[in-house]
Structure 1
Amino acid sequence: MNRSLSTIAASLALLALAVALPAQARSISYATGYPPNSIGSDAAMKYASALEKISDGDLKAKVYSMSLLSFSEAAPGIRDGMADSGFVLFSYFPAEFPNTNLVSELTMLLELDDVEPSKAGLAYVGAMSEFIFKDCPECVQEFAAQNQVFTGASASAPYMLLCNDKVVSQSDVRGKRVRSAGAQWARWAEAVGATPVTISVSDAYEALNQGVLDCSISSSVDLDIFKLSEVVEHITPDVPGGVFGGTGVNNVNREVWQSLSEKQRKDLLYASAVLGAEISWDYQAGATKELDNAPDAGIEVHDADDSLRDATQAFIEKDAQTIADNYAKRHGIERSDEMVETFRGILSKWVDRVADVDNADDLAELYWDEIYSKVDVSSYGL
């Protein structure tokens, strides 16, 4: 009898101890090709902090900056479980993500909405995320085929001409060798009489310095990140426009996503909204700073003339249909026309929504309230 009471007492004591001990947090690895102390890496650290806070310590993120998966390894690495989640550049994987890449090429449509340049990338993040979550089951399916779940987007600041000659008119740009940052910008270069050159932004410095390039289509933040301020003498900010927005800011391994509780999935989505807002806001802030400081670095900033602006506007209108036709032909996307029109409407809506946002915290809340909080975590990605 005494032994029995002793056993019960011991069991009760162990139970009380177990109740008193906090539950161990689930740790999720996050891989990014950005190096430490860069905009992308710093935003990832803010994401990790937000995830722990939002989940009340139930979830944590371990950030691996340029150490676990490079940008070119991200999609297959997340698919195969080398990382639980990470930053994916869709343009690196055209065969795997054709529907998503279709929308990623539509960023120059921002110029037709007369968007405030400092808000262009912010609007695109909202539109891209909303479209994939709500209006593109094909996108969700192609992520699932790669054992991934999309949880949000990010975008750069607007792309412009960074040149070693003054380029403000169609006659100025004609014959210039221009680094294109994507297929849509290459088509723009050809449309205005320039010669598109495909090289990485990391190689643009030497190409501009040696005269292999006359201009690079880049964000002004690249003046700092890639030191282009040392080889660029002229900037034309208002052409060609558009942003780089083909990113999965936090794609999650599908098996990892399915292993989370519904609350954990919702918490992760909330933190992804923070991540997308932080990285996109910081890119814009950095780009604005570099453009403002350009004259002090001896760089002249010019406005494009009517001939180049009008040619750019005409190209953008025509290119939307070109994109739809290309993806229908090359990838067999049956809804390409419908997808373009649907996305255009969503993008215009987001241009209005972000117009008055003036900090990253409010931007994250806007993304959460309008998009991420409405995702049905009981079925999405399962």
Structure 2
Amino acid sequence: MNCSKFIRRGLLPAFLAGTLVTGLAEARTVSYATGYAPGSIGAKAAEAFATDLEEHSKGDLNAKVYAQSLLSFSEIPPGIRDGMADSGMVLTPYFPSDFPSTNLATELTMLIEMADAPTEKVGLAFAGAMAEYVFFNCPSCVQEYQQQNQLFTGGGGTSSYFLICNQPVKTLEDIKGKRLRIGGAQWARWAKELGATPVSVPQHETYEALSQGVVDCTVHSAPELTIVKLMEVTSDMTPNMPGGVFSGVASSVNADVWQSLTADQRRSMLHASAAHASALSWGYAKIAATNMQKAEEKGIKIHQPGADLVKVTREFIEKDLETIAAKYAEDHGIESSAELVDSFRSLLGKWVELVQDVESRDELTQLYWDEVYSKVQVDSYGQ
């Protein structure tokens, strides 16, 4: 590798710079940036990445985690591209023009409801499906990361999204005319289809919007009941409606860093990314279960969606598959969009089955590793 070229371009990552300056054959340290705050689910997942990297590499590689400090979420992809961080967590929906093939799959999130997956396992399944999709089923996904001078090394998924409200919303009639805080295009389309009004509200303003009646409900996951303190302003909840998860979560590594690693070191990076994916997805699932129990104990009414609401939602999900494929073909020129939709749907069904017997985070890491991450050809990936 011609390091002087990267020095002149200003693209030499901290990892390589440290190696050149010291010239010592000692443990190498990569930086990992995340926009999550210290102590949060995401920050703990990043620490799991660091711990696993050191253990799997037998001390050959270490990671220094920068939680909400080195780069914000909006700065991470260009920061990794330009070498300000060696690796980090990318929220791909924040960058629709940079990661369109990846984002196509993230809009298929409501498909999980068609697979009848247990609520506590939806994020686990989606994370596995996303990783397999990007690594092996979506060449254009790999290419769009390379165009940003980085490589995808893993995914993740939150717990289920559902209606968190200040009034009962159980039926199709209930939801008509309601103002719903929405955090994704697919949920906005669903709201409009059912006669509700989607409203864009930043997450940190959701508490006030719900408490003051600016919105009637927010579509969020259960961890936000405590993270954003929504439990204080919520009276009613309807789980599994509309369903789906936030899965636009990717770990990536600077391409020049990846090229500088040995084959064993690359495998360790991938294993650590599998550990990160399981820590993130498992962490969301555990806190979701805890918060749902707390909400019930607090007296928040938990409703099951009516048959009419379920029926119309499932009809919407099937119809929206064509909408998504057409949207990404027209807006981003992805000619294989319909095939990618079919591919991802098949993967998701497979992963619902794979995760059903997982009972611990360690088991989930092993499953991700065995089924996906260990199969990446480290000598050719990213070439």
The normalised TM-score by structure 2 is 0.93
Instruction: Please tell me the residue identity of whatever aligns with 1:368.
Output: W
Moved over 6 A (4+): none
Q: Partner of 2:154: helix, strand, or coil?
A: coil
Q: Partner of 1:70: helix, strand, or coil?
A: coil
Number of aligned residues: 360
Instruction: Please tell me the residue identity of whatever aligns with 1:90.
Output: T
Structure 2 equivalent of residue 283 of structure 1: 284
Structure 2 equivalent of residue 246 of structure 1: 248
Structure 2 equivalent of residue 160 of structure 1: 162
Structure 2 equivalent of residue 67 of structure 1: 69
Structure 1 equivalent of residue 149 of structure 2: 147
Structure 1 equivalent of residue 309 of structure 2: 308
Structure 2 equivalent of residue 358 of structure 1: 359
Q: Give the whole-Å Cα distance in 2 for the aligned partners of 1:114 and 1:346.
A: 14
- Find 1:88's aligned residue among 74, 87, 90: 90
Instruction: Please tell me the residue identity of whatever aligns with 2:376.
Output: V
Instruction: Please tell me the residue identity of whatever aligns with 1:156.
Output: T
Give per-residue Cα distances to partners, 1:27-56, cap 9 Å, x unaligned: 000000000011111111121111001000
Q: Give the whole-Å Cα distance in 2 for the aligned partners of 1:295 and 1:135.
A: 41
- Find 1:121's aligned residue among 111, 120, 123: 123
How is 1:265-276 mapped onto 2 (pairs within 5 angstroms)? 265-276=266-277
How is 1:100-111 mapped onto 2 (pairs within 5 angstroms)? 100-111=102-113
2:66 is the alignment partner of 1:55: no
> What is the CA-CA distance between 1:181 and the residue it aligns to?
1.5
Q: Partner of 1:378: helix, strand, or coil?
A: coil
Instruction: Please tell me the residue identity of whatever aligns with 2:276.
Output: L
- The percent identity for this pair of structures is 54
> What is the CA-CA distance between 1:23 and the residue it aligns to?
4.1
Instruction: Please tell me the residue identity of whatever aligns with 1:60.
Output: N
Instruction: Please tell me the residue identity of whatever aligns with 2:318.
Output: E
Q: Give the whole-Å Cα distance in 2 for the aligned partners of 1:125 and 1:76.
A: 24
2:212 is the alignment partner of 1:213: no
Instruction: Please tell me the residue identity of whatever aligns with 1:305.
Output: G
Structure 2 gaps of 5+ residues are 1-23
> What is the CA-CA distance between 1:238 and the residue it aligns to?
1.9
Q: Partner of 1:150: helix, strand, or coil?
A: strand
Q: Give the whole-Å Cα distance in 1 for the aligned partners of 2:147 and 2:41.
A: 30
Structure 2 equivalent of residue 344 of structure 1: 345
> What is the CA-CA distance between 1:199 and the residue it aligns to?
1.5
Structure 1 gaps of 5+ residues are 1-21
Instruction: Please tell me the residue identity of whatever aligns with 2:212.
Output: Q
- Find 1:43's aligned residue among 37, 42, 45: 45
Instruction: Please tell me the residue identity of whatever aligns with 1:256.
Output: V
Q: Give the whole-Å Cα distance in 2 for the aligned partners of 1:342 and 1:35.
A: 35
Q: Give the whole-Å Cα distance in 2 for the aligned partners of 1:347 and 1:296.
A: 33
> What is the CA-CA distance between 1:298 and the residue it aligns to?
2.5
- Find 2:225's aligned residue among 223, 226, 235: 223
Q: Partner of 1:68: helix, strand, or coil?
A: coil
